[in-house]
């Protein structure tokens, strides 16, 4: 069995260069690859394109890269709770491509599956469809969307083994499985790294063939993006 374990996040990020395109799993702050993002900040990589559902918050996750102006372009579904993301977008400092959330997920999955493009009705008749091929299927118009091309995909899983097999937990699963294998190199950070054979094969969400590098992360903060509590009676 191939062992895809790397010693730490520094080794996992070898080959990172300015101008690359990165996929980053997560939804808000749930399931984001915290260790990998922090390493990208430390490396001070510049002029990058990030494909992620959103950019979380100002002082955590992708917000740290935005704060240092390391991101040239964000491909996302929405701005989210990140005021700096909004400010840079409105000021023209940051190039932003907003696309429907389902289309974002499918463009990742298309890249994972080796499918170059697909048709979807989402966005037809809106700015999303500008400059894109359109075709009618069964009386409904669809637009052609292309699979993403990325250099690295950074994902976060709950458990993984040294062969790269991954299990996600709860809502932290989100976009992570779709991004595995959707880039030239997929880096998986896990909360618990186990020997081959320990994970129940029936519980594995992503097989190791989609992962090139895996390491056990550390110091996960697990912040809450929006804390809602019941008012006192």
Domains along the sequence of the chain with CATH? 9-119+146-216 (3.40.1080.10)
Give the length of the chain.
233
At a CB cut-off of 8 Å and minimum separation 6, what does 75 contact? Answer: 49, 50, 51, 52, 96, 97, 99, 104, 148
Q: How far apart are CA 25 and CA 45, in angstroms?
A: 19
Residue 9 — very low, low, confident or very high, per pLDDT cuts 50/70/90? Answer: very high
pLDDT digits (tens, 9 = 90+) for 80-127: 788 999 999 999 999 999 999 999 999 999 999 999 999 999 999 999
Average pLDDT, the chain: 94
Q: How far apart are CA 147 and CA 43, in angstroms?
A: 28
Q: Is the Cβ–Cβ distance between 18 and 53 less than 8 Å?
A: no
- Is the pLDDT at 230 greater than 90? The verdict is no
Question: What is the token pair recorded at 211?
Answer: 């992962």
Residue 221 — very low, low, confident or very high, per pLDDT cuts 50/70/90? Answer: confident
What pTM did the predictor assign? 0.93
- Is the pLDDT at 233 greater than 80? The verdict is no
Q: Is the Cβ–Cβ distance between 81 and 56 less than 8 Å?
A: yes
Q: How far apart are CA 62 and CA 54, in angstroms?
A: 8
Q: How far apart are CA 166 and CA 10, in angstroms?
A: 21
For residue 229, give the H/E element and its range: none
* pLDDT at residue number 220: 82
- Is the pLDDT at 232 greater than 90? The verdict is no
At a CB cut-off of 8 Å and minimum separation 6, what does 55 contact? Answer: 61, 62, 63, 66, 74, 76, 79, 80, 82, 85
Regarding predicted confidence, which is higher, 229 or 86? 86
For residue 41, give the H/E element and its range: helix 34-43
Q: How far apart are CA 210 and CA 113, in angstroms?
A: 10
* pLDDT at residue number 57: 87
* pLDDT at residue number 210: 98
């Amino acid at each position: 069995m191939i062992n895809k374990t790397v010693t730490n996040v520094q080794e996992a990020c070898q080959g990172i260069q300015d101008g690359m395109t990165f996929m980053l799993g997560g939804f808000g702050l749930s399931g984001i690859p915290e260790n990998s993002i922090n390493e990208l900040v430390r490396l001070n990589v510049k002029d990058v394109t990030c494909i992620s559902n959103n950019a979380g918050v100002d002082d955590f996750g992708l917000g740290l890269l935005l704060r240092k102006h390391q991101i040239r372009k964000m491909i996302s579904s929405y701005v989210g709770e990140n005021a700096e993301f909004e400010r840079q977008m409105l000021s023209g400092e940051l190039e932003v491509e907003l696309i429907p959330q389902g289309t974002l997920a499918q463009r990742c999955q298309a890249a994972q599956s080796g499918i170059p493009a697909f048709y979807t009705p989402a966005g037809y008749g809106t700015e999303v469809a500008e400059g894109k091929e359109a075709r009618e299927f069964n009386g409904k118009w669809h637009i052609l969307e292309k699979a993403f091309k990325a250099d690295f995909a950074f994902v976060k899983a709950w458990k993984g083994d040294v062969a790269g097999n991954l299990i996600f937990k709860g809502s932290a699963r989100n976009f992570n499985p779709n991004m595995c294998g959707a880039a030239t190199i997929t880096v998986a950070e896990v909360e618990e790294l186990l020997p081959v054979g320990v994970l129940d094969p029936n519980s594995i969400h992503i097989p190791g063939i989609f992962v090139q590098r895996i390491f056990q992360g550390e110091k996960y903060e697990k912040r809450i993006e929006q804390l809602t509590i019941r008012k006192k009676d």
